[in-house]
């Protein structure tokens, strides 16, 4: 297995970004999920860097994911935003998915906001609802720490507060002020690309998961090795398989995400303002 997450590789990527945005030290990193990429237009004084221009980054191949870093200002803070993430179902390794998390930390960002579109396992969740992720279950069968020790943090590390409780409280408070109702729940990350079967969804519900998706967990595992604080936000884009009788389609997922993305972005703006 190729060891991608090394001091040398991360330093080369950091250098390439710093060349395009000299002196830029991000205060927050943001990763935008399916159908939310357009929101990055709200970042001011943007410097756009396609993943292809950054050594060791793989391009995004997914509909609804542009595949570029956007560096600029949001709510008065310097942010680095991933417009489009990398997924396991594209054939990416855990280290390829997690690599940009190391890069954004080395650039200086102590906080990571991750967003995704997710299926609602919890029957009371409606399409368009927002769920703050309180914890996750990694069912992707991979972990970015597998391989030789990368030296970026402990070999074995705690995941008790994988999603920072204080950040979540801040997000709850901001949402309340904005009049946005939010759920809190457990996200279960699967490999995809097939959606789940109703039997799987029933099982995940018994395990304590409220939402299901095909992303996020690798990046959050990486962030925890680095001591980066994580806020995770899921947009409920569809009822999960079998929760209602409709067949699932990626077009519906992206459409729902497009419609509700504004709410999540407004929430993120509010949270970033107070970091």
Site residues, ligand HPA (CB under 6 A): 117-119, 195-196, 212-214, 237-238, 240, 248, 253
At its nearest, how many Å lie between ligand HPA and the CB of residue 96? 19
Q: Of the two residues 35 and 270, which places its CB atom closer to ligand HPA in the complex?
A: 35
| DSSP string covering 171-185 | HHHHHHHHT--EEEE
Q: How large is the greatest C-alpha to C-alpha distance in the chain, in angstroms?
A: 53
At its nearest, how many Å lie between ligand HPA and the CB of residue 213? 4
Q: Of the two residues 240 and 272, which places its CB atom closer to ligand HPA in the complex?
A: 240
Q: In Å, what is the CA distance from 254 to each residue of 11, 15, 251?
A: 34, 34, 5
At its nearest, how many Å lie between ligand HPA and the CB of residue 195? 5
At its nearest, how many Å lie between ligand HPA and the CB of residue 86? 15
Residues 6+ apart with CB under 8 A from 161: none
Gap between the terminal Cα atoms of the chain? 38
At its nearest, how many Å lie between ligand HPA and the CB of residue 21? 32
Q: Of the two residues 9 and 116, which places its CB atom closer to ligand HPA in the complex?
A: 116
At its nearest, how many Å lie between ligand HPA and the CB of residue 57? 23
Which residue is at the shortest CB distance from ligand HPA?
A: 119
Nearest to 271, CA basis, from 166, 117, 183, 186: 166
For helices 250-273 and 165-178, what crossing angle results, to 10°?
100
Q: Of the two residues 26 and 213, which places its CB atom closer to ligand HPA in the complex?
A: 213
Q: Of the two residues 82 and 211, which places its CB atom closer to ligand HPA in the complex?
A: 211
Tokens of 77: 């803070």
Please give the Cα distance from 78 to 25 (Å, whole number): 7
Tokens of 40: 């990055």
Beta strands in 121-170 (DSSP E): 130-138
Tokens of 96: 């390829």
Q: Of the two residues 103 and 188, which places its CB atom closer to ligand HPA in the complex?
A: 188
């Amino acid at each position: 297995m190729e060891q991608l997450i090394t001091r040398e590789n991360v330093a080369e990527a950091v250098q390439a970004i710093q060349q395009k945005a000299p002196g830029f030290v991000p205060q927050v990193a943001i990763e935008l999920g399916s159908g939310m990429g357009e929101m990055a237009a709200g970042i001011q004084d943007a410097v756009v860097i396609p993943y292809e221009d950054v050594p060791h980054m793989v391009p995004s191949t997914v509909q609804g994911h542009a595949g570029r870093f956007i560096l600029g200002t949001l709510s008065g803070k310097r942010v680095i935003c991933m417009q489009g993430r990398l997924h396991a179902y594209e054939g990416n390794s855990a280290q390829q998915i997690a690599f940009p998390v190391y890069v954004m930390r080395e650039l200086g960002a102590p906080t990571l906001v991750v967003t995704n579109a997710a299926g609602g396992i919890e029957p009371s969740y409606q399409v368009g609802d927002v769920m703050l992720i309180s914890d996750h279950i990694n069912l992707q069968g991979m972990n970015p720490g597998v391989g030789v020790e990368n030296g970026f943090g402990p070999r074995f590390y705690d995941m008790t507060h994988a999603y920072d409780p204080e950040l979540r409280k801040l997000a709850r408070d901001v949402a309340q002020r904005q009049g946005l109702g939010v759920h809190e729940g457990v996200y279960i990350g699967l490999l995809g690309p097939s959606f789940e079967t109703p039997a799987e969804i029933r099982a995940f519900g018994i395990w304590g998961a409220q939402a299901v998706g095909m992303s996020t967990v690798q990046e959050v595992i990486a962030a925890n090795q680095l001591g980066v604080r994580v806020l995770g936000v899921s947009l409920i884009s569809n009822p999960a398989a079998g929760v209602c009788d409709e067949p699932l389609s990626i077009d519906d997922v992206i459409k729902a995400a497009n419609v509700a993305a504004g709410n999540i972005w407004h929430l993120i703006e509010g949270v970033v303002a107070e970091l």
